Structure 1
Amino acid sequence: MTVTAQQTRRPRPQHRTTGGAFARRSLPGLAAAGLASALLLTGCGFQIHDRVCGSGHYPVKAVGNTSGGDCVADGQEPPEGYVRYPEGQVPEWVDDEWDRYWSTVVVDAEGRVVQG
């Protein structure tokens, strides 16, 4: 009986893989895409909040309308047509509680809330 090379070759062991080289290359990209999607969907995890005014300034409210405002250097009085916010009700961050509130009301030259 003659044995050929084909008959004596041992079968190669079959290793279980989860996708081979393609999976090894794609997994980091998929992980990064998943993380980016999660951050975009949650929105608040790494949201950067903006201050109403920069360092050394305080916010003032415009008289006679809901949307007007400005920032004044610390130690200076508000210019004509603007008033200070009441103590304890000063907006510090864009879209914080007081920023949202003061954007819905009108004040007079004394800083009193009036019908708008």
Structure 2
Amino acid sequence: MFKPRSARRPAPAARPRRLPGVTAVLVGAAAVAGLTGCSAFEIREEMCMSTEYPVLAVNSSGSDCVRKGEEPGEGYARYPEGKVPEVVGDKWDVYWDTRTLDENGNIVRLPEAQ
């Protein structure tokens, strides 16, 4: 006996929709950019928390953070005005990698940086 075609085979489940070619390319490019570090998002690491300010070690390398309203501890001083690093790796953070303040507040090169 002859069976109509639809009766011989069950109807297929709904097919998943395929992404159009352009969308697939864009999704792939975004994945590659994200995995290689070329994304549009930049992570900035602040030197200190918002309730603190950075201070510089005197006659030595290094820095610390002090609560706003408090004075730096012994062996530390405030950065000179206009030369305060705000973000790790910014212009002033790099500058202070090879310099420090002496006991008179003068900017001097670190011995290990010469």
TM-score where L is the length of structure 1: 0.66
Q: Which runs of 5+ in 1 are unaligned?
A: 1-20
Q: Which residue of 47, 50, 70 corresponds with 1:55?
A: 50
Q: Is 2:86 aligned against 1:92? A: yes
Instruction: From 59, 75, 78, give the equivalent of 1:81.
Output: 75
Measured at CA, do residues 26 and 64 of structure 1 come closer, stay the same or move farther in structure 2, by a change above 3 Å?
farther
How large is the Cα RMSD of the aligned pairs? 2.6
Cα deviations by residue, 1:71-109 (Å, 9 ceiling, x for unpaired): 001111100111100111111111111111111213212
**Structure 1 ranges of 4+ moved more than 4 A:** 25-30
Aligned equivalent of 2:38, options 39, 42, 64: 42
- CA distance in 1 between partners of 2:103 and 2:54 (Å): 16
User: Do structure 1's residue 104 and structure 2's residue 98 form an aligned pair?
Assistant: yes
Structure 2 unaligned segments of length 5 or more: list them: 1-14
C-alpha displacement at 1:31, in angstroms?
3.7
Amino-acid identity (%): 43
TM-score, normalization by structure 2: 0.67
Equivalent residues, number: 93
